[in-house]
Structures are given as structure tokens and as C-alpha cells.
Chains A and B, each alone.
Chain A
């Protein structure tokens, strides 16, 4: 499925945002802030970029998307349901006993989940193996990753960054969801990961910087990344945590808190 117009992709992003609100509201817990910040990137990937077949989730030639910031599971679940991997009604089972929608993604439970993630940095590390396997098998699938900015504080991220450049993994494209907030406060105050651009370049990556809510810019960055050879690509996407819901935007408190019924209603009105 390839939606070409920015308007159509924006509509998908909104639909995913609505799902994020509904499912975290129903769950009574979860991580809406960092899910909303990534919704435009994830919508563009699932409805423009990724070669996928929901009827054959393990199709060998599919593109791979790995949500390394696994706590943003609601944005992944929203996209997968929207793309037809499982019924949308199931979204409301998020975080409930017996649900396939675990608090953090489980690849053995839910079709379309490439990697069980949640412990930060580990999905990114696994993506190195997936990209290496693609090279080894001479497959032309792409490996896409969503990484958090706070996540860049994990040492394994830089071990993996080094390996990706060392093995010239130009089949690996990573989005860095630079929303600037983590549980204890602004990333710049907790443990500054900056300068991000220079760090990734120094580790041998081709770095692009975009507005992570500008779908035209996301499309352009994905297009530009195709021309990069022998190097992995890092797209640093400046985003707003809680994007799209006024009372959640840039509020650190919405990292890991669910909206109540009234807040769900208000958020859905705002999202339209």
C-alpha cells in the first residue's frame, strides 16, 4: 500500500493518534507522549515506504521496521492495525491479561512485530543483525528503526552504531525521535545526548535533520536515504512529545501516563 499524497498520510497519522489515545485510555496505563511524537514517521513508513503483506507477515522479502523505543508500542500497534495486520477492535485489549498487545511489543504474539523490544537500545542492536542478514542473503529489503533521544544514553546504542558503520549497512535507515523529554525531565538536563548530529556523523553515519511532523520532509528524507551507499542513514527528526493533543504537548508528565475518560474525549475532539 503506497499512499502518495501528503494529505492521505496525514489522515493516517491522525487515525493512528486517535488509536493511541483510545487504547492507552482503555488500558489505564501506557506511554502516549512518545507514541504521539512518532506518529507521523510511523504513518509514513507503514503507508508509503514499507513493502509489507499483512496476509504474510513473515514474507522473506518484506521491509523490516523495528521499534527500538518499545514503550511507544501504541504507535506501532495503531499502525499495524490500520495496515490490516489484526482487527482494530483488538487495540482496546492493550496491556490487559491475555492480550497479544503486551505493554511492550512481543514478536511471538502479534503478527507484524519484527522484534520484541522495550529494554532500550536492544531493538537497535538487533536491527544490525537483521541488516547483516539482508546483506548476507543478498536481499534488497530495507531495515527501518525508530530510536528515542533518551535511548541514545544507552551504551549499546553506540556499540551498535559503530557496528552498522563498520559493516557499511546502507540497508539500514534509522529515525531518531528527538522529542527532547524523558521520564525525569528534559534530556538536556537529565543526561544530554547532544550534539546528536555530530555524534552520529562521527560514528560514520549519513545524517539528515528534519521536522518529524512534516510528512513532506519525512518523504524527502526517505528518498534521499536511497542514494546513500556504504553507510547507514540516521534521520534526526525534531518532534514534539504528545504532538496533536494540546494538553499533552511538551509535557513530561505524559511520558508514561494514560488519559482518563474526559481527557480521551477532549483529545479525540482535538484530533478530529
Chain B
């Protein structure tokens, strides 16, 4: 178990050693976002911008315009929420080489409650032209995604979490921006997940197997550009899909999948996510259960998708 923010901190420090152009900005949360690892090694390339997220993003754009590979970190709610327009107009529109590595995304922020739980960020970021949106599933994928984001020239949104999550991948895995990864084959239903819901989807597939339902699991860690081929392939093979994300069901992975199959190969798509409500205080585990982000709910939704498939 490792939190993706911890893997980010580790990868960032490594990146700093290999690439002198890497600079890192934070907004008074270096200890929480783990940019502190980079700060300790490269203090001259670390800029604390204080509790001022709009200027965090604007300054990041300025550094990028001067040739720096710029990582800007804070909590997802402040990065995407407060500084949305700076991200749109100063980073994405001019195609700046800025990596917005936002931690504490989703409900698993936990006890801080709804004010700090960004459940809209995937929707907001994927609606901006030029923006690459990556949601790693575990620590291994995070480390690779950080490197891939640094190698890619242009704006990237990297969505990271506070809570520790299971490790899915070993070091043989190779992350590539824009490529989804089929973790498990299955002919009956396709579970399409992102972030910490990938591990939950794998557990749900096990439960379904016990009931004689063969479920495939696809990790869509790049929400944009979306691996439409992998999604359509799964739609063709299974004829029924379930999406799972630690995010509102509006505008995120579920919407992206529904848009894709709706236009090319319509099959039932059931969405697991936060059902258009705000979160609340609680432990990450309690919150995931209370808001239906569980293997049991995935199983239920898979059966509903299968029922819909049978009607058609």
C-alpha cells in the first residue's frame, strides 16, 4: 500500500536529479503534496508561492515560457477549482509546459470534509483543449506517469490521492500517455476504472467470477486523450460496460466512456461514482462505502448492465 502522492514525491526527486530544467511550485502544502522531497534536494529550484493558487498557476506558466519543465502542486480542489481560469488561459491556451500535479483529489481526502474533496476536477480538466489528464491507479503507475508527463511537452493534469492504495503493478509495467491497460480478460462485462477504483474493480471481477460472470477490467489512467480503441474493443467483446471513478458521475470517466460508445458502438454503460452530491467528513474507507465506491456496488451495476444487454 502506498499513496500516489508519496510516489509522486519520490518520482519528482528522481526527476530533479536527471533533469536540471525541472522546477517545482507549491502553495504552502509541500509536506502534504510531497513536493518537500524535491525541495530538500533542490531548494533553488523550488518555489513556495504561499496560499495563493491563482498566482501559483500564473507563475508556473511564466517559468514554463522560459524553458522550465514546471510542476505546480497543491490540493486538487484549489488547483482546479480556485485557479481554473489561470489553468485555462495562462497554461492550456498557450500550451505551456506545466504539469499540474494535484493531490488530495476525491473523497479519500477524508476527515477534512466536502470543502476539500475535489470530485469535479476530471470533468473540468478534460473539458479544456490541449490538456492531458492522467489518473494513476497506484504508486508504480504514478512514478511512471510523472516521468511521462515530464517527457511530454505541454500541459498535463495529474490527479493524485492522499490515501494509501494497493499496489497493482510491478516494475515490468509500462505506462504510456493515452494508452489504457487491460488488466483482466472477460467476455461478459467490461469494468472500466480509473485511479483507486482500479483495485476495487479487480476485486469486483473476482466476486463476479464466483457467480460465473466473466468480467474484464480496463485501467483507463489517461482520461484524455482517451484510448477510444481499447474502450470500443471492450464494448464489442462484452456488450456491457461499468465505469468506476472516485469522482462525480457527471463529466468524468463514465461520461467519457458513454460518449465514446454512444457515438460508435452503443452498449449499456452503468456508472459508479459520486451521485451528484457533496461528500462529508469521515475516514476514506467509510466514505468510499457510504458513497457506493465499493466492489459490491460494482457487482450490482455489472448485473444491471448485463440485464440491459439481455433486453437489447
Contact = CB atoms under 8 A, between A and B. Distances in A.
Interface in A106-128: 106-108, 114-116, 118-119, 121-122, 124-128
Contact of A129 (B50, B58, B95): B58
A28 to B, nearest CB: 24
A160 B52 CA distance: 9
Among A129, A136, A160, the one with the most B-chain Cβ atoms within 10 Å of its Cβ is A129
B124 to A, nearest CB: 16
Interface in A74-126: 106-108, 114-116, 118-119, 121-122, 124-126
Interface residues of B, number: 29
8 contacts: A125-B54, A125-B58, A127-B62, A129-B64, A130-B66, A136-B44, A155-B54, A159-B54
A247 interface: no
A59 interface: no
Interface string B21-65: 001000000000000000000001101011010110111111111
A199 B89 CA distance: 27
The 10 closest A-B pairs by CB, nearest first: A129-B62, A125-B58, A133-B66, A159-B55, A159-B52, A126-B62, A129-B63, A129-B59, A116-B94, A156-B54
Given A118-B89, A125-B90, A130-B65, 8 more contacts: A115-B94, A128-B58, A129-B58, A133-B23, A133-B66, A136-B23, A159-B52, A163-B52
Given A118-B89, A133-B68, A167 B47 contact: yes
Interface size grouping (class) on chain A: 20 to 34
Contacts of B61: 115, 122, 125-126, 129
A253 to B, nearest CB: 27
B67 interface: yes
Nearest to A109: B94
A115 B91 CA distance: 10
Contact of A122 (B45, B63, B70, B86): B86
A124 B54 CA distance: 11
B55 A163 contact: yes
A137 interface: yes
A128 B89 contact: no
A134 B85 contact: no
Interface string B112-133: 0000000000000000000000
Among B44, B52, B60, B65, the one with the most A-chain Cβ atoms within 10 Å of its Cβ is B65
A152 interface: no
A132 B55 contact: no
Interface string B137-148: 000000000000
A232 B193 CA distance: 49
A268 interface: no
B278 interface: no
Contacts of B70: 129
B19 to A, nearest CB: 14
A121 B85 CA distance: 11
A64 to B, nearest CB: 8
Given A122-B89, A167-B47, A129 B65 contact: yes
Interface in B93-119: 93-95
Nearest to B51: A159
A126 B58 contact: yes
Contact of B66 (A125, A134, A162, A167): A134
Contacts of B62: 115, 125-133
B192 to A, nearest CB: 35
Among A126, A156, A163, the one with the most B-chain Cβ atoms within 10 Å of its Cβ is A126
Given A116-B94, A125-B86, A136-B23, A130 B63 contact: yes
B59 A132 contact: yes
Nearest to A105: B94
B60 A107 contact: no
A107 B65 contact: yes
B54 A108 contact: no
A128 B25 CA distance: 12
B243 to A, nearest CB: 34
